[in-house]
């Protein structure tokens, strides 16, 4: 993860995702902790500990808070079991920061912190996966009658009624607007991204207490993308082909300017998640490492 503009890194505790089929490519034996390891890490302190500096470790003793069979909200697209995976090794990885020990995720504390608040995830399907994971992490301790889930094509809302808290997802794969936001265009060559337009959809992201954004995988459909921007905007015919990295840079600037001009940092915390492995193929885990490195220098 990398710091972008003036936005904070998403707290890795929240990112912890018990169901991620893809972290399991390495031989488990290679990374099991040596039992005689001397642990000199300090207790977690968000001011002191760089949670982004660490590694995934395998730990048989982990008891995940949910699995894709116990949580009813996981789409088939994100479900290892429903897609035929029959081992459960992937449930036993945990993020270990170099310098400190992360406390265990506690659903009750998380819900108390969200009391009277709205948490909104905005982005693509990887972000929807994060949203579902977060809902799954907390939903297990809420009785059936005290929670609700309303799924929409664009906007979905999970509510924890006793806490008056909502955990929501808003579909916006490029964050900025495009001709493929609502009615998805399969052929990437026909997609046109309006790299300097965001306001119409972003209206629905205001009045939220915690905003978590992501966007990148939809930009990765080729070396160049069709973009509409500034004086080139002349109907959809006025697009220009731009290098993908330039278009992504313009799109993220549009988004960052919207955040700076619209969001009151005293009321709303904003996070941005950069690249993470896609959920479609384990191969992409390796590919995205090189993409991550190249985009860091944008
Ligand atoms: C475990 O750690 C000890 C002490 O550092 C070392 O001597 C030993 O070789 C390690 N064992 C393995 C399997 O890595
Ligand atoms: C493995 O997980 C268990 C249960 O969460 C924990 O008590 C233990 O400290 C972990 N072991 C290591 C080496 O981190
Ligand atoms: C699990 O899946 C693998 C590969 O798909 C298969 O070879 C193996 O027989 C399966 N094991 C069980 C217990 O079903
Ligand atoms: C519930 O939370 C919303 C914000 O999400 C707030 O506007 C409202 O006043 C809260 N209601 C109660 C009864 O606390
Ligand atoms: C977005 O907000 C507008 C009002 O500003 C509302 O009419 C519309 O239904 C909202 N769209 C979604 C998907 O929530
Ligand atoms: C946020 O709070 C600080 C300190 O209380 C204040 O100086 C600043 O003007 C506030 N910013 C906004 C946008 O309200």
* Domain, as residue range, for 107: 8-295
- Whether 3 is in a domain gets the answer no
For residue 85, give the ligand nearest its CA. 3
Q: Is the CB of 62 under 6 A from ligand 2?
A: yes
Q: Is the CB of 164 under 6 A from ligand 4?
A: yes
- Whether 2 is in a domain gets the answer no
Q: Which residue has the tokens 């384990």?
A: 282
For residue 154, give the ligand nearest its CA. 5
Question: Which atom of ligand 2 is least distant from the CA of 59?
Answer: 1
- Report the b/e string of 12-35 with b at 16+ CB within 10 A: bbbbbbbbbbbbbeeeeeeeeeee
pLDDT at 233: 54
- Whether 102 is in a domain gets the answer yes
pTM score of the predicted model: 0.79
- Whether 137 is in a domain gets the answer yes
pLDDT at 4: 31
Beta bridge partners of 147: 160
C-alpha–C-alpha distance, residues 296 and 298, integer Å: 6
- Whether 122 is in a domain gets the answer yes
pLDDT at 298: 25
Question: Which atom of ligand 4 is least distant from the CA of 164?
Answer: 1
Q: Give distance in angstroms: CA of 181 to centre of ligand 5.
A: 14
pLDDT at 10: 32
Q: Give distance in angstroms: CA of 200 to centre of ligand 5.
A: 9
The count of domains in the chain is 1
Which residue minimizes the CA distance to atom 8 of ligand 6?
266
Q: Give distance in angstroms: CA of 265 to centre of ligand 6.
A: 8
Q: Give distance in angstroms: CA of 101 to centre of ligand 1.
A: 21
Q: Which three-class secondary structure state does DSSP give residue 221?
A: coil
Calculate Rg over the CA atoms of the chain. Answer: 20
Torsions phi, psi of 225, nearest 5?
-130, 160
Q: Is the CB of 116 under 6 A from ligand 4?
A: yes
Q: Give distance in angstroms: CA of 76 to centre of ligand 5.
A: 27
For residue 88, give the ligand nearest its CA. 3
Helices and strands counted in the chain (H then E): 7, 15
pLDDT at 137: 94
- Whether 228 is in a domain gets the answer yes
- Whether 175 is in a domain gets the answer yes
Which residue minimizes the CA distance to atom 9 of ligand 2?
61
Ligand 5 mutation pick, 157, 199, 204, max ligand atoms within 8 A of CB = 204
Which residue minimizes the CA distance to atom 11 of ligand 1?
34
Q: Give distance in angstroms: CA of 12 to centre of ligand 1.
A: 29
Mean pLDDT of each 10-residue bin along the chain, 298 residues long? 30 34 42 50 80 89 90 90 88 88 90 96 93 95 97 97 97 95 90 93 96 92 86 70 94 96 95 74 44 30
Give the ranges where 40-164 is alpha helix by DSSP (H): 107-113, 125-139
C-alpha–C-alpha distance, residues 220 and 54, integer Å: 27
Torsions phi, psi of 170, nearest 5?
-130, 125
Ligand 4 mutation pick, 157, 161, 164, max ligand atoms within 8 A of CB = 164
């Amino acid at each position: 993860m990398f710091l972008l503009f003036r936005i904070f890194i998403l707290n890795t505790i929240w990112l912890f995702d018990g169901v991620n089929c893809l972290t399991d490519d390495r031989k488990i034996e290679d990374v099991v902790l040596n039992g005689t390891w001397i642990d000199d890490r300090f207790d977690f302190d968000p001011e002191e500990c760089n949670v982004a500096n660490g590694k995934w470790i395998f730990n048989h003793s982990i008891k995940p808070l949910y699995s894709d069979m116990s949580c009813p909200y996981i789409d088939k697209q994100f479900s290892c079991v429903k897609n035929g995976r029959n081992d459960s090794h992937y449930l036993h990885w945990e993020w270990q920061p170099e310098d400190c020990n992360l406390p265990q995720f506690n659903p009750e504390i998380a819900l108390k912190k969200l009391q009277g608040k709205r948490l909104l995830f905005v982005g693509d399907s990887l972000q929807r996966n994060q949203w579902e994971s977060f809902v799954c992490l907390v939903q297990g301790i809420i009785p059936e009658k005290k929670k609700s889930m309303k799924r929409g094509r664009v906007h979905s809302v999970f509510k924890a009624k006793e806490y008056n808290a909502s955990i929501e997802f808003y579909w916006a794969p490029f964050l900025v607007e495009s001709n493929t936001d609502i009615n998805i265009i399969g052929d990437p060559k026909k997609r046109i991204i309006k790299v300097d337009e965001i306001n119409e959809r972003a209206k629905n992201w205001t009045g939220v207490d915690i905003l978590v954004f992501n966007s990148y995988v939809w930009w990765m459909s080729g070396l160049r993308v069709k973009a509409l921007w500034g004086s080139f905007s002349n109907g959809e015919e006025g697009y220009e082909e731009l290098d993908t990295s330039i278009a992504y840079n313009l799109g993220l600037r549009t988004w960052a300017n919207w955040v700076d001009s619209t969001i009151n940092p005293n009321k709303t915390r904003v996070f941005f998640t950069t690249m993470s492995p896609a959920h479609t193929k384990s191969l992409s885990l390796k590919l995205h490492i090189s993409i991550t490195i190249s985009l860091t220098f944008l």
